[in-house]
Structure formats: C-alpha cells, structure tokens
Amino acid sequence: MTELHHTAIHAVINNSSPQLSWNPFEDLATLFHFEFMVHAFQAGTIIAIVAGAIGYFVVLRGSAFAAHALSHIGFAGATGAVVIGLSPIAGLLAFTLGAGVAIGALGSRLRGRDVTIGIVLAWTLGLGVLFISLYRGYATEAYAILFGEILGISTSDVAVTLAAGVITLIAVGALYRPLLFSSVDEDLAAAKGVPVTALSIAFMAILAVAVTEAVQVVGVLLIFALVVTPAAIAVRFTSRPAIAIATGIGLALTFTWLGLAIAFYSPHPVSFFITSLAFATYVAVRIAEPLKTRMRRTTANATA
C-alpha cells in the first residue's frame, strides 16, 4: 500500500469523515467516488465469496482452529518477509502454505492435533514478535497484517486477489464431492477409493491461499469473522451443502459490504464493523433458534 493511500485514509478517518445525507443513492455515489473505496469493495467482494465457500468445509471438517492457526502462523511469515525486504503477502503465503500442508498431513483423526498446532502457533507468534523488533519503524505494516488494511488496496492488489480467488474457487469446485464425502465419513470415503490424506493436504493448501487473501481485509487476528462465522451461521439454517455454501457467501458479502459502508461514514476501523456484524448475527441466530423450536413445539401441541 502506498503513502498516498494512507494519506487518503487518514484524511477520511481523522479529519473529514463524510456526513450521511438523507439520500442513500447520493451516499453510495459519494462512497464510490473514492478510488480506494472502489478497490476495497472489489477485493472485499472476491474475498467474501472465497471465504464463504471454503468456510462451509472448514466448519464441516471441524477445522476452525486449524484455519485460525494458519493465519497466526502466517504472521511470522509476513513480518519475516518484510525484514528481508520481501512483500509481506509473499511471506504470509509461504508460511500458511507450509503450515497448511503440515496440518493436512497430520490428518483429522490424530489425537491431540489441536495441541500440536497450538504449540507451533505460539512459537511462530514469538518469531513474529522478533521480526517486528528487527525491523524498526515497522509498526504500521505490522498493524495492517494483524488487523487488516483493506482501505489501502491498489489496482494491482485487486488483480492478484482476483486471480487467487478464481484459482481457489476452481480448486474447491474440482474437489467438491470427494471433499464433502471425506469430511462426512473419512473411513467410508477411503473405502470408496477417495485419497483422503492427499485430499486433506490439498484442502489445507487451498485454505492457506484463502486465509492469505482474507488477511488483507480483516487481518490475521480477525480471520474467524470471515472464514468461520458466516459458514457457522449458514449451517444453522440449512443442512443442504449447496445452500449452506450459498448462504455463507451471502453472509460474508453482507458483513463485508455493510462493514465497509459503515466505516466510510464513521471514524472507526473497517475490521471492527465486519467482525461486529458477524458476531451480532451469530448471537442473534443462536438466541432465535431455541425460541423458534419452542414455538414450533407449542404449535405442534396446540394442533395435536
């Protein structure tokens, strides 16, 4: 991200937050008047689609912690890359891919897998801290990696995100049925000839790419909000895989778009709004669910 973008962001955030008018179309026009907002919406849209789609499999496979850990392990890669003068995204991708393949090879049934992942995660975060201290004047970059900086995305960043997004979606589509099969019953899938270990590694590699993309929006610390929360909400509404994926994508898009729009008219960061929208929706669904079941039961009793 360039200095110019930073100036633009700070101008918007600190001094002259645009005021909401009573005309929503005019407000939207104002919003898209800024190039950095257009880029943010473009990248945010691509990432929300990828995160929503892959999130269903993360939830189905019980890999939420692995997804979370991938992004944290990536933090060391990103900060390390900056120390040796490379792009943080390249370092992030290298570390998440490496960790993803390793976690995938461990297999989902290994007892204590989460403990192993957690131990590696803590160590790599320690490495990240070291790398930050080695690179002076690095606070802004570190902050962007930790919490996301979608308002600083350039045209070429959008192009890279689009390419990565398309590749991720094609890969998920290609693995769709065997991935679903092995997520539901690994023994059965293996007996039917599905290469379950190779599939587990491939899935974690795809997840690593998706996580690297999503870090641009919400940062490594807040990755759950885009990769896990939308899918976790979706599976409470439907148990049809295709509809759950579509719902997850829809929710991820809603959180991202609304979060961006609200942040544009407020002095607070985008990540806060995206994560809060995701959290509030999840809480609302969890509260509404038992009420709905109770109501259905009451109606059933009344008719019986």
Total number of residues that touch other proteins (CB under 8 A): 27
Question: What is the nearest approach in angstroms of other proteins to the Cβ of residue 232?
Answer: 10
Q: What is the DSSP string of 207-233?
A: HHHHHHHHHHHH-GGGTHHHHTHHHHH
> Scanning the structure block, which residue is given the tokens 């995206």?
274
- What region does 107 belong to: left with phi over 0, alpha with psi -120 to 50, or beta? left
Q: Does 35 bind other proteins (CB under 8 A)?
A: no
Is residue 290 part of the contact set for other proteins (CB under 8 A)?
A: no
Nearer to other proteins, 26 or 185 (CB): 185
b/e burial code for range 155-169 (CB count within 10 A of at least 16 → b) = eebbeebeebbeebb
244 part of the interface to other proteins, by CB under 8 A? yes
Residues from 147 through 176 that contact other proteins (CB under 8 A): 173-176
**According to the binding rule CB under 8 A, does residue 59 interact with other proteins?**
yes
CB of 60 to other proteins, least distance (A): 7
241 belongs to the binding site for other proteins (CB under 8 A): yes
Residue where the block lists tokens 């976790």 = 232
Give the nearest distance from C-beta 196 to other proteins in angstroms. 11
> Which residue in the set 239, 300, 301, 302 belongs to the binding site for other proteins (CB under 8 A)?
239
Q: Tell me: does residue 281 bind other proteins (CB under 8 A).
A: no
Rounded alpha-carbon distances, angstroms, from residue 298 to 61, 285, 288, 293: 34, 20, 15, 9
Q: Tell me the C-alpha distance between 237 and 299, whole Å.
A: 20
Q: How far is the CB of 162 from other proteins (least distance, A)?
A: 21
Does residue 191 bind other proteins (CB under 8 A)? yes
Closest CA to 78 of 37, 42, 129, 10: 129
Q: Does 187 bind other proteins (CB under 8 A)?
A: yes
> Which of 49, 295, 275 is closest to 161 using CA atoms?
49
By CB under 8 A, is residue 194 in contact with other proteins? yes
- Which residues contact other proteins (rule: CB under 8 A)? 59-60, 62, 173-178, 180-181, 184-185, 187-194, 235, 238-241, 244
